[in-house]
Structure 1
Amino acid sequence: MKNCIIVIPVLDPNDAFTPYVKQLISEDFKSIIIVNDGSSNEKTQIFEKLDELPEVTVLTHAVNMGKGRALKNAFNYILNDSDLATQHGVITVDGDGQHKVSDVLKLCSELEEKSSSLLLGVRHFQEENVPWTSRMGNTITRHLFRLLYGKGLNDTQTGLRGISTDVLPDFAAIEGERYSYETNMLIVAVHKGLRLKEVPIATVYIEDNEESHFNPVKDSIEIYVLLFKNFFKFMSVSFTSFLIDISFFQLFLFILGFMTVGREIIIATILARAVSSFFNFSISHKWVFESKKRWNQTLFSYYGLVAVQALISGVSVYWLFQLTGIKEVILKVFVDAILFMISYRIQKLLIFKSHEK
């Protein structure tokens, strides 16, 4: 008996769905949870017959609630069942027949040996049968994910995933009701320091992916908003900090006008950054990065970064001022914009990152 639970969210399954489920049963999968996500009445008989099989449990949504909600409801069902919760893990499978049973078996074999893991069945997007929309969407998303979260993944939208049971609670109640939920799974996995492993699988697209219920506009927007959500929060706090910083920088330039130009710029930069950084640290710690580290664990490294940034900013502004003669405040805007992006990655991936396993 396979010690993996199969979860299949499905909306209006085709004629191949029942044989596919029976093939999974023939491979000794004894726990298969199917979530009928608001299918039409014409499909009721399919689910009724499947529910009669001892290996199958059918959960039903009266209306379509989205793939994310279907997966979360299945995960909660598993966690509330003492027998299911002892299995090695869960494998999520799309209901459109695009995941081969042999690949499901491959993920189950990997999952039985690993804990604290999220396994991803990775497709090859360079093959000729891949629709150009899927190839383009995956390329954009994986590059954005790497840029914003520092993790290189080849297939961010795969529906064939293996989740070890010990980390299932981490994914049972997170944000996302539709396809954006699967993106949020990756963000949570990176944030919590879970083991992410990519497992190559067959690339199957049936009739140019016509069976998919993915809305290219609505679902893509939700995914990209989710990807940028943390960055937008960082931008808003950083912009406010920048206004505080630039205002105090100008004030200190006025106060220190009796000094030499070089000393005036360096000291004004350091004093202004001391004021703005206290605001930035306080808000970033709990609201932007939602860090579970204690303040004393992040304060030293944060202000170390602030000191280095202030030094680089001050020296760069002074050097550019000597070279170009452009007004100091304008040069500071340019220099700090570059340091802004670098600072985001350092804070997210090093300073405020909580390593939870």
Structure 2
Amino acid sequence: MPFKQFFKAHFVFIKFAASSLLSTAIDLAFFTLFIYFLEQPFPKMYIILATTIARIISSIVNYTLNKKVVFKENRQVKTAFVRYVLLSIIQMLLSGLLVTYFVKTILPYELITKILVDCSLFFLAFFVQKRFIFPPGEESSFKGQLTKK
């Protein structure tokens, strides 16, 4: 498959990956910042708190990018936003709980552990957003992109 054809066929995923990388950078920066400030006052909950605050900030950026740039969804769809929030909450909880578990049992480095956990959640997030949050519909501008090869 020539590069141009490959790029065109996978353009939505490439945009999703770029959006996710930017959101991940924001998430990790805030996570690191809040780990620093919250570890002393909240020694048992600092990872969950840092994960929650950082994820809220990065999710706002990620939703906006995915809606407007990745999936080019221009309709005002409250259900998409609600689904995205639910997905973010599930991801946030999974990330926080898994990072806490792995830091306490296997790998005592919060940032490295968070990167590994969140990378594993990346593909799940793409599938869920593509199929359930921003599904291709008659009014969606990326409908034809997924079926062309």
Could you tell me the TM-score, scaled by structure 1's length? 0.37
Aligned to 2:36: 254
3-state SS in 1 of match to 2:10: helix
1:176-195 residue pairs with structure 2 within 5 A?
none
Aligned to 1:233: 15
Aligned to 2:58: 276
**Unaligned residue ranges in structure 1 (runs of 5+):** 1-218
Task: List 4+ stretches of structure 1 deviating above 3 A.
Answer: 259-262
Distance, in Å, in 1 between the alignment partners of 2:74 and 2:136 is 6
1:266 and 1:315 in contact (8 A); partners too = yes
Tell which has more relative contact order, 1 or 2 (C-alpha 8 A, sep 6+): 2
Structure with the higher helix share, 1 or 2: 2
1:299 aligns with 2:77: no
Distance, in Å, in 2 between the alignment partners of 1:322 and 1:265 is 11
Distance, in Å, in 2 between the alignment partners of 1:353 and 1:292 is 13
1:351 aligns with 2:133: yes
Structure with the higher strand share, 1 or 2: 1
Distance, in Å, in 2 between the alignment partners of 1:269 and 1:311 is 8
1:327 aligns with 2:109: yes
Please state how far the C-alpha of 1:299 moved relative to its aligned partner. Answer: 1.1
Please state how far the C-alpha of 1:325 moved relative to its aligned partner. Answer: 3.8
**Unaligned residue ranges in structure 2 (runs of 5+):** 140-149
1:31-42 residue pairs with structure 2 within 5 A?
none
1:110-259 residue pairs with structure 2 within 5 A?
220-259=2-41
Aligned to 1:317: 99
Aligned to 1:196: none
The residue type equivalent to 1:337 in the other structure is C
Aligned to 1:61: none
CA 1:295–1:251 in 2, change beyond 3 Å: closer, same or farther?
A: farther
Give the superposed CA RMSD: 1.6
Please state how far the C-alpha of 1:294 moved relative to its aligned partner. Answer: 1.5
3-state SS in 1 of match to 2:6: helix
Distance, in Å, in 1 between the alignment partners of 2:137 and 2:84 is 17
Identity rate, percent:
31
2:107 and 2:113 in contact (8 A); partners too = no
Equivalenced residue count is 139
Distance, in Å, in 1 between the alignment partners of 2:82 and 2:131 is 16
Could you tell me the TM-score, scaled by structure 2's length? 0.86
